[in-house]
Amino acid sequence: MAGVPEILSRFAALYPSSRQPRIAQAPGRVNLIGEHTDYNLGLVLPMAIDLRSIVAAAPSEDDRLRVYSEELKQSAEWSIGEIDAPRGDWSDRIAGVAWALARRGVRMAGSRVLIVSNVPMGGGLSSSAALGVAAALALGGARDAAEVAEIAHFAETGFVGVPCGIMDQFVSANGRKGAAILLDCRSLDWRPVTLPAGLAIVAVNSMVKHELGDSAYRTRVAECAQAARELGVASLRDASVDDLGRLEGVGLRRARHVVTENARVEAFAGAAARGDLEAMGRLAVESHASLREDYEVSSPELDFLVETAVGLPGVVGARMTGGGFGGSTVNFVRAGALGEFSSALSSRYRQKWAKAPEIHVCAASGGAGLIFP
């Protein structure tokens, strides 16, 4: 990943007449357990990771928001006063943050922006949230991590139009080195959860990209809201196992996943505190089965990765992570088995799908912050 001197050099080459930029970074995340519970105001256990988006931004003399992505080798330009609807491309995340800041009373002017990121787009590791959080910091106007997360989340839901919960933006802004975060998405109360020594967290990107805004994600949000209405509760966070008998069909399956997944998050955090790797792995596999059968957001590639991983030596559990329909799995691997795991899983995936997965051993990372000046 490029350091500050290299970012400054690239920015100066891209925008020769500009002042030096404000540079911010924000991490992606891997969600260990608690999938599709965030927008149901439930419990999640994500971990900020050592893959990052960097946004460098400096004021311009006009009202234009000019953005360049080094990853995509693409540029985009917006008029600050005319940012009122998304275009449906990658630049919506930057324009959306400018839109969200303006609606929170920040006086927005034109800006020149450079994006450098190594969080894979569409890989289930929250590249969108990392970009939004970094942009909220680089463009200014946020006072603390909580406000940064709120601004980035407001941009994603209110401007881009993805009806997501706040988990991704929250952990990107508030990540803790060496720990995952147990977050209550209703109260936003949270605490760090240290993982057992000797356990490696490995994200495996299926290389099947997803776009949450264009997928069945919206449908799942609506189905959960309908199930909550049928039960007479504010959200499925308030439903219990006993309530499930009052539902049927799709509503029953969606609610059953949310109710049981919230319970799995608490059990997983308890198992981590005890150092019970077997229980952690069992809960991860149960989570994947629920996401596949009750929530119906997995894919053949994700199922293959999970089923193959849990049969390899040293793997205590695996599950899909992120919105689904592609993206990544998260694997819980004994540290001594990492080499064999990576080699065997990559080989079998290539044989089955004629492409190599992207494997990343994740280190629990600190959250977002300014890195210049």
- 5 Rama sector, left if φ>0, alpha if ψ -120 to 50, beta otherwise: alpha
- Whether the CA torsion 140, 44, 175, 124 is positive or negative: it is negative
Pairing type for strands 111-117 and 43-59 reads antiparallel
With the CA atoms of 144, 147, 148 and 150 taken in that order, what torsion angle do they form, in degrees rounded to the nearest 10?
160
Q: Give SS3 for 265.
A: helix
Q: Give SS3 for 124.
A: coil
Query: Among candidates 59, 175, 66, 63, which has minimal Cα distance to 125?
Result: 175
The owner of tokens 């999938």 is: 35
Q: Where are the beta strands (DSSP E) in 97-198?
A: 111-117, 179-184, 190-194
Token pair in block for residue 208 = 């099947």
- 217 Rama sector, left if φ>0, alpha if ψ -120 to 50, beta otherwise: alpha
d(CA 6, CA 177): 25
Active site residue ranges: 168
d(CA 81, CA 99): 9
